[in-house]
Amino acid sequence: MSIDFLISALVTIIGVSTPILLAATGELVVEKSGVLNLGVEGMMLIGAIAGFAVTNATFNPWAGLICAAAAGVLAASMFGVLVLTLGSNQVATGLALSIFGIGLSSLIGQAYEGTMNPPFGSIFPYELAHHPYGKVLFGHSPLVYFAFVMVFATSWFLNRTRAGLVLRAVGENDLSAHSIGYSVVGVRFAAIAFGGALAGLAGAYFSMVITPIWAQQLTAGRGWIALALVVFAGWRASRLIFGAYLFGFLMTLELYAKASGYHVMPSQFWASMPYLMAVVVLAVISARDRGGSYAPACLGRPFVPNG
C-alpha cells in the first residue's frame, strides 16, 4: 500500500466526514436543550438546494453558504414554532420536516438538473493545496476547517460558559430553569436555529463541494447518520470527531472497494455499512442502563410550565 494511496484515502475520508460532523454538532446543541429534531435530513437538503441555487445565480460560493445557513435556520424555525409554540409532537414534526425538505429540494431542483457550479475548493495557495503531501492539510474546502472549529467551540460553549450552562440546565430540568427565570422556549428556539444553520451548511457541502452538479436527494440519508452520531458520541462534543471519521471511513470503504474491483462482497454490502453501523450503535446504546447515558433528562419532552 503506497503513501499516495493512504493520502488519497485520508483526503476522501475527511471530505465525506465533514457534512456529518457539521450536522451532528448542530443537532448535539439542539438535543442538549431538550429538543429532539429528526428533521436533519430535510434541513440538509433545503440548505443544499439553497446554496446551489444562489451560487449558480451569483457565482459567489460565500453567498451560497450564507443562504444555505439561512435556509436551514428558516426550516428549523418552522419546526421550532410547531413544537415550542403550538406543542406538536417532536418526533412526528421532525419526520414531517424531513419529508418536506426532500420534496421541496426536489421541486426547486428540477430547474437545476444537470447544472454544474464551479467547485468550492481550497482557499490556500495552489502549491500547498495540490502538493502530494500538503493537500492532506491544505487541500480542503473552508467548511472542513469550519467544522473542526465548531466542534471545539461547541464543547467550550457547553462546558465553559454561563450560556452553555443555562442551555444544559434547560435540557436537564426545564421546570427548574423556568422557575428561576430562564426562558426555556427562548433557549430552545435559539438552539434549534443554530442546529438548522449547521444542517444547512452540511447540505451545502454536498451540493457545492462533493458533487457540484445538482441531483435529487444527494445527501443520501447522511442526516440520519448525523442523528445516530450524536447518540454514538454520548451527547459529548469532544467525541463527535472520532464518530464522524469512523462513519466516514466506512463510507470510503465502499468507494475504494468499487474502484479496486474488490468483488468478494457485493457493492450493496459496502454501501449499507454506515447505516448498519448506525443501527448497531443505536441498539447497543439503547440497551444500556439510563445511568450510563448522557442524554438530557428532558430530551423529547414538551415543556409545560406550572402556572
CA 30, 14, 267 angle in degrees (round to 5)?
A: 100
CA distances from 76 to 56, 68, 72, 241 (A): 24, 12, 6, 24
Per this entry, what is the length of the chain? 307
Q: In the structure, how many helices (H) and strands (E) does the chain have?
A: 13, 0
pTM value is 0.90
Other C-beta atoms within 10 Å of 179: how many?
A: 12
DSSP 116: B
Grid coordinates belonging to 69: 445557513
CA distances from 153 to 138, 164, 175, 212 (A): 21, 11, 28, 29
Phi, psi dihedral angles at 116 (to 5 degrees): -120, 135
Phi, psi dihedral angles at 300 (to 5 degrees): 85, -5
Residues facing 116 on adjacent strands: 213
Q: What is the three-state SS of 264-303? A: CCCHHHHHHHHHHHHHHHHHHHHCCCHHHCCCCCCCCCCC
Could you give the 3-state DSSP secondary structure of residue 161? coil
Contact assessment for residue 298 and residue 172, using Cβ atoms and an 8 Å cutoff: yes
Distance CA 157, CA 188 (A): 15
Grid coordinates belonging to 15: 471530505
pLDDT for the residue numbered 11: 83
pLDDT for the residue numbered 289: 46
Domains by residue range for the chain, with CATH:
3-116+126-289 (1.10.3470)
Q: With DSSP H G I counted as helix, E B as strand and the rest as coil, what are the percentages for the chain, rounded to 5?
A: 75, 0, 25
Residues facing 213 on adjacent strands: 116
In a structure prediction context, what are the per-residue pLDDT tens digits for the chain, which is 307 residues long? Answer: 567 767 777 888 888 899 999 999 999 999 999 999 999 999 999 999 999 999 999 989 999 999 999 999 999 999 999 999 999 999 999 999 999 999 999 999 999 988 888 878 777 777 677 676 777 778 788 999 999 999 999 999 999 999 999 999 999 999 999 999 999 999 999 999 999 999 999 999 999 998 888 988 899 889 999 998 998 888 988 889 998 998 888 888 766 666 555 555 666 676 677 777 777 766 765 665 444 457 898 998 888 886 5
Instruction: Quote the distance between the C-alpha of residue 164 and its chain's center.
Output: 20
- Contact residues for 272 (Cβ-Cβ < 8 A; gap 6+): none
Distance CA 68, CA 256 (A): 30
